[in-house]
Amino acid sequence: MLKSRLLGLTIVALGTWVLGTAMTTTTAQAAKWHAGTPKVLRGTYAMHKKDALGQKPNLKFTATKLTLQLNPPTVADHLSKVSYRKINAHTYYLKGHYLSSGVLYIKAIYSPKAQQKRLKIQEGFLDGQHIKWSPKHAMGWFYQK
């Protein structure tokens, strides 16, 4: 009787340990660059204020590219072959090919708790192994349409 009870407790303990170990696996997806744009950022955003040239720029995120449209319309700049990396709950790094000048990095910080989802954009460049963010190229807040 004692042997069967001890055997039963051992089996239950091992089963619990195996299930606990299998269910607590960690993923290393945070440091990986993913193709496309994050679903949470997709859509069109507009700036409420005019920029230095008197234009109201719009940002449009699609599944594969990021487009900056000026209002009144002119030639739209776009980032193609976009990939992203999630930094924290509200910050993404995006990189993509910009015209013929090579790779451009973008830091996108969004605030979903405001009345309208808003997004702040900052440009950066690769300096060796690290991304340097340019304070001169920080655009203001864009609000989702």
pLDDT tens track for 84-134: 999 998 899 999 988 767 788 888 888 877 677 888 888 888 888 888 887
Question: Residue 2: inside a domain, yes or no?
Answer: no
Contacts of residue 8, defined as CB under 8 A and 6 or more positions apart, other chains included, come to none
The per-residue pLDDT for range 2-38, each reduced to its tens digit, is 556 654 555 655 555 555 555 544 444 557 899 999 9
The pLDDT value given to residue 27: 44
Is the pLDDT at 79 greater than 70? The verdict is yes
Question: Residue 119: inside a domain, yes or no?
Answer: yes
Question: Residue 6: inside a domain, yes or no?
Answer: no
Range of the domain at 47: 34-144
The pLDDT value given to residue 129: 84
Beta bridge partners of 85: 93
Residue 127: which H helix or E strand, with range? strand 118-127
Question: Residue 124: inside a domain, yes or no?
Answer: yes
The pLDDT value given to residue 62: 92
Instruction: Indicate the pTM of the whole model.
Output: 0.69
Structure tokens at 103: 């790779």
Cβ neighbour number for residue 29 with a 10 Å cutoff: 9
Question: Residue 28: inside a domain, yes or no?
Answer: no
Question: Residue 100: inside a domain, yes or no?
Answer: yes
- 43 neighbors 145 (Cβ within 8 angstroms): yes
Q: Which amino acid is at 90?
A: H
CATH assignment at residue 108? 2.40.128
How many structural domains are present in the chain?
Answer: 1
